[in-house]
Amino acid sequence: MSKIKIAYSPCPNDTFVFDAWAHGRVPGAPRLDVTFADIDVTNGMAERGEFDVLKVSYAVLPYVLDEYALLPCGGALGRGCGPLVLTRAPGTDLSRATVAVPGERSTAYLLFRLWAADVLPDGVGRVVVLPFHEIMPAVRDGKVDAGLVIHEARFTYPEYGLHCLADMGEHWETTTGLPIPLGAIIARRSLGPELLGLLAESARRSVRMAWDDPEASRPYVMEHAQEMDPAVADQHIGLYVNEFTADLGEAGYSAVRGLLTRAAAEGLVPPLGREALSFV
């Protein structure tokens, strides 16, 4: 079998999940040809039909599910792990603000738009897109008034002297009772049911192997963690790699369906077909 072309981010949760598989330690798993790219880049790759398997934002699923299937494992959902809106000072009026976001097709931005529709009657002043690692410095330096942040920024924003204006995940959980869908693993439907099933099982076994021996993945995680403090990398993994990573389960699928159905009702994404989330 030829190598499976896969693209995922260099973030600690992804390298932790895929370490065993990428290094040939998952028995019977297809070999991988790995490309690293930030998730806003992989979202575009998915929309262009590139790669066999990708880590993408759940927000991009309505645009790609004709060609790709959602795998029931390997992604990022959870509780207490949603995007934050950060400002230099408490109480910033977002109706007059410039807000930096990490991608127009990011789940973070979709959650932000749903939050804004509920709590900001005057809307948001202006939205600009920046790579996520540039957002906190831009807020700190006054280049933008507020920033929507993800990943390890949940742990590090006080170091920039910033304040949390609102927690998108907290709003989502309070209004829906569901976990927060963030990143999905998708694979080409044209690979066929048998290979899709093997890919899902390989991802599931890879994450379980990482849990069984966390130290085995540490070199791979830190190699790609962009000089991140090891303690922050561990916090990142602990927050974003959880039971939903091993299996979406009923609650996970309900969260994904709830997010995309609610967003479609607001006219933010195309509606999902009835069987769009079904796997093989």
Q: What CATH number was assigned to the domain covering residues 4-78+179-266?
A: 3.40.190.10
- Residue 95 annotated as binding? no
Question: How confident is the model at residue 72, as a pLDDT?
Answer: 97
Q: What CATH number was assigned to the domain covering residues 84-176?
A: 3.40.190.10
Whether 3 has a pLDDT exceeding 90, the answer reads yes
Angle between helices 249-265 and 107-119 (to 10 degrees): 60
Neighbour tally for 165: CB within 10 Å: 18
d(CA 229, CA 80): 21
Nearest in space to 10 (alpha carbons), one of 130, 106, 104, 151: 151
Q: What band does 240 get if pLDDT is binned at 50, 70 and 90?
A: very high
Nearest in space to 221 (alpha carbons), one of 204, 236, 242: 236
Instruction: Give the strand pairing for 84-87 and 163-167.
Output: antiparallel
The set of residues, in sequence order, having a beta carbon less than 8 Å from that of 174 and lying 6+ positions away, is: none
**Rounded to the nearest 5 degrees, what angle is found at the Cα of 5, between the Cα atoms of 2 and 35?**
140
Decide whether 4-78+179-266 matches 84-176 in CATH topology. Answer: yes
Tell me the longest C-alpha to C-alpha distance in the chain. Answer: 57
Write the pLDDT tens digit of every residue in 47-66: 999 999 999 999 999 999 99
Q: What is the value of pTM for the model shown?
A: 0.92
d(CA 272, CA 277): 8
- Residue 107 annotated as binding? yes
Whether 25 has a pLDDT exceeding 90, the answer reads yes
Neighbour tally for 188: CB within 10 Å: 19
Lowest mean pLDDT among 59-63, 134-138, 234-238: 234-238
Write the pLDDT tens digit of every residue in 147-191: 999 888 888 899 999 999 999 999 999 999 999 999 999 999 999
Q: Which residue has the tokens 């995922």?
A: 8
Which residue in the list 23, 133, 151, 171 is annotated as catalytic?
151
Residue 62: alpha-carbon gap to chain centroid: 15
For the chain, strand residue ranges (E) read 4-8, 32-36, 53-57, 68-70, 76-78, 84-87, 98-101, 126-129, 146-149, 163-167, 180-188
**Domain layout of the chain by residue ranges:** 4-78+179-266, 84-176
- Residue 55 annotated as binding? yes
133 included as an active-site residue: no
